[in-house]
Structure 1
Amino acid sequence: MSELSKPARIKGRGARDNPAGRFEKTTHEAFDDGWYQDGEPAAPPRTTVSEERARHIISRNASPDVPFDVSINPYRGCEHGCSYCYARPSHAYLNLSPGLDFETRLFAKTNAVEVLRQDLARPSYRCSPINLGANTDPYQPIERKYRITRGILQTLLDCSHPCTIITKNALIERDIDLLAEMARRRLVHCFVSVTSLDNKLSSRLEPRASAPHRRIQAIAALNAAGIPCSVNVAPIIPALTDIWIEAILEQAAAAGARSAGYTVVRLPYELKALFEDWLETHYPERKQHVLSVLRNIRGGELNEARFGLRMRGEGPFAELIRSRLNKACKRFGMQRPVEVDLDTSQFRPPREASPQGELFA
């Protein structure tokens, strides 16, 4: 899409463009054929959901930067539309754009529970805490209809299988009944991500995620129900959201969070141009400052792929962020780093339904 044809802003969306993914062999450019009238508003992009049948549901990784080696993503794409989302480039594998397509053309793995039960029942399966939300949010708005995440949690509870959850949506409160039972058996630890406490900034940065105050309320509701819930100050965007570090930790601690994690924004592949465009759209006066600091902590680039550095960065500014967060955690009585204590010894593989029920359980 040419610069002239881009809308100034699309309310409720994090991107305003649909650039081609890095695997595309052809590119497209908008052309004014005379039918478009100046001042005529374009139709807002609508969310569409395609149901798909997954062959596998458990993903594995060997990254030293994350505290889990297995994960499940019930959905591909994410309607939250976070402008900084490192998962956006994954839509290129579907021949779709990491821009608007990522937040409007979604995929729901409707057979996730069925495939999960098959995977857990394999004789070769070894129990390790499964993370929900490693790539896209398991509680994004379409979960209200599809309830795939809830089905996965019910399956994990039935099998006494531990899990961790990362989300920025207060919809997680819906599943407190399941999560509370899992917590009683040391089977779950939740993380709610908070980037700032500024509703106006949040509505532009992560337009369809829960407002900051609702996320703090979700942290309080989970901890009040006996469900361990930490806060992720993530991602921190230097010169834009870093002013909120201490305030977020203070409110999260008051809501019952006893530990905190953090990451610094990273911009892989197509995300670099998308985030630069977002800055130009919403905060043009800060654009060069934000990008300058990011290059400062990423070795002169906007992204750092090396393990150990990609989530935190390096240099004086990165060290300042780490020091501020650690000191604030100490001040508010929060643990750093986060320690997740889950029990894998209770796991029992699912069994096929039997006419005799659980007679010989």
Structure 2
Amino acid sequence: MQELQAKVTQAQVEIIDREKFEQGIADVVAKYENYTVTAATIKDDKQVLADLRKLKKQISDERIKIKRELSQSADEFDKYIKDTSEPMDKVIDKIATDVKAFEEHQKAVRLDTVKSYLANKAAEYMLDPRLFDEKALEYIKASDFMADGVTLKKVTMKSLEDMVTFEFQKQQEFEKAKATISGQCAEYGMTDQPYIRMLRDLTVLEVLEQIKSDYTFEKQKQEIERARQEREQQLAAQQAKEQEQAQKSTETPQIDPETGEILEGGELSQNNQNALRGAENAPKLYTQKMTLEVYFEDTADKDRFKAGLSQLGFEHKQNYQVSGYQRIEPLTQSELNGQCGW
């Protein structure tokens, strides 16, 4: 094919009487640069403005005319080249489209090859091959295949096999972790599903610590509630007994008509009331004591513990005291276990 060759002749513009044109501009500027518009001369002022604009337009029209003439040959050349090369552009576009379609087809073939290999390996470990669909896209470059474009290189097959093996090991570890968590929850009588979901963000040891913490907290709540119910039952029983005794005390005593003595029912009632008053007035006796060391996360945790003791009937400086309360350096659960020998 003959290459494009062209001869360019530089166009030239010659301004006739350049000095005279420049002088004319200078004269106009000198005449009007200090021009003053007044109310008395406004009509003439408008005419001066119109004349100056007319002169400016004449100069601009001539500039545009000359520029158009200079660019005409360039526009004609540009149109000629575009019209002449258009058939070749169509050929290029068609071949480019075919090349792109071929490359897309090759990618699809390579992707099928990779997915097929992964599916076979996944079947060996009884894994769902769809787990690897996204990763498969990373192995469809031409450099991952032999020269024929469809046969996997050994290094590529090794990478794919390692991927499947790693996923299998990960799932095995996950199943072991699930079994451990389910066993711990079953021992504590707790639902395991919320804790199994935690495995997405926490290690199995962290989840087990959370289970233990939740179980302990729940047991504390149950103990507090049980103590509260017992106190309410005791109070209700005491109130019923007092009401019964008060009712008996208001009844007319039965008197033996022969001896004039109060019958046994009245005596017993009186004796019971005296015994009750004696029990109420007797001082409380303490027969056991225990030293307890407790670790709190923060002040709110301490106050919750104190409130729990109060609900169980233990009041500070009445039947228990606190000694050695102090702030300590923060400890993790594992550090506390090691410090206390748990």
**The TM-score by the shorter chain falls in which range?**
under 0.3
Superposition TM-score, scaled by structure 1 size: 0.16
Q: Which has the higher strand share?
A: 1
Q: Which structure dedicates a bigger proportion of its chain to helix? A: 2
Is the radius of gyration larger for structure 1 or structure 2?
2
TM-score using structure 2 length: 0.17
